[in-house]
C-alpha cells in the first residue's frame, strides 16, 4: 500500500512542511556569514602582485515583528491538514483494497459454481440422451439440455475472466508488486 505514488507524495509533502517549520524557527538564531577572496595581478607596476581579503558578518533579528510564531503556526496547520489528507487517503485505499479482495473472493466462488454448473448440465445431458434413445423425450428436450451445457460452459469462462479482472483491480488499487500477500492475509 505504501508503494502508491499518491501516498508517497503526501508523506513527502508532510516532511517538507516539517522542514519549513523548522526553518522558520531557526530564523530566530544568529546568522554568521564568512567570505574569503584571493586576488592576484599579472605584474602591473601600480598594484601589488597578490592579496587576500576576508570578512565576517553577524546578523541577528531576535524580534521579527512577532511574525515567526504566526508563520510556524501556519506551517503547522498546513502540516496537520496534509496529515489528515494522508490518513483519509489511507482509509479510502484500505476500503478499496477490501472491496477488491471481496470481488476476488466472489469471482473465485463464481468459478467453482460454474464448474458445478457444468457438471450438472453434463449429467442432465447424459440423462436426456438416454431418455431420447429410449424414446421417452423429444429432440427439443435433448437440444435444450445441450444448450444448457453450452450456457454453463460460457458462464464458467466468464467467471474465469472475472477472476483475472479482480486480480488486475487488486493490483491497481494496492499499488503492490505482489498482491498475493494481500490475498494471503485474506484467508
More confident position, 4 or 179: 4
Q: 109 falls in which pLDDT band (50, 70, 90)? A: very high
- Cβ atoms of 56 and 8 closer than 8 Å: no
Taking each helix axis from N to C end, the angle separating 139-174 and 68-133, rounded to the nearest 10 degrees, works out to 160
- Cβ atoms of 159 and 113 closer than 8 Å: yes
More confident position, 96 or 40: 96
> What does the pLDDT average to over 4-9?
86
> What does the pLDDT average to over 163-181?
82
- pLDDT at position 25: 84
Query: Which one, of 145, 152, 149, 147, lies nearest residue 110 by Cα?
Result: 152
- pLDDT at position 49: 66
CA distances from 165 to 81, 104, 116, 158, 170 (A): 35, 8, 21, 10, 9
Q: 186 falls in which pLDDT band (50, 70, 90)? A: low
Look up the pTM and report it: 0.64
- pLDDT at position 3: 72
Please give the span between the terminal C-alpha atoms of the chain, in angstroms, as a whole number: 19
Amino acid at each position: 500500500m505504501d508503494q502508491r505514488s499518491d501516498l508517497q507524495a503526501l508523506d513527502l509533502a508532510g516532511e517538507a512542511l516539517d522542514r519549513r517549520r523548522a526553518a522558520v524557527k531557526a530564523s530566530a538564531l544568529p546568522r554568521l556569514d564568512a567570505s574569503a577572496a584571493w586576488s592576484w595581478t599579472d605584474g602591473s607596476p601600480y598594484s601589488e602582485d597578490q592579496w587576500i581579503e576576508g570578512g565576517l558578518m553577524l546578523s541577528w533579528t531576535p524580534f521579527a515583528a512577532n511574525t515567526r510564531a504566526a508563520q510556524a503556526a501556519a506551517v503547522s496547520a498546513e502540516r496537520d491538514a496534509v496529515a489528515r489528507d494522508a490518513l483519509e487517503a489511507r482509509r479510502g485505499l484500505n476500503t478499496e483494497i477490501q472491496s477488491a479482495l471481496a470481488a476476488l473472493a466472489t469471482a473465485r466462488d463464481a468459478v467453482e459454481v460454474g464448474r458445478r454448473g457444468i457438471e450438472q448440465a453434463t449429467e442432465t445431458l447424459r440423462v436426456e440422451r438416454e431418455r431420447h434413445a429410449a424414446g421417452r423425450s423429444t429432440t427439443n428436450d435433448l437440444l435444450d439440455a445441450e444448450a444448457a451445457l453450452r450456457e454453463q460452459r460460457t458462464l464458467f469462462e466468464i467467471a474465469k475472466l472475472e477472476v483475472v479482472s479482480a486480480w488486475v483491480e487488486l493490483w491497481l488499487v494496492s499499488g503492490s508488486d505482489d498482491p498475493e500477500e494481500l490475498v494471503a492475509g485474506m484467508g
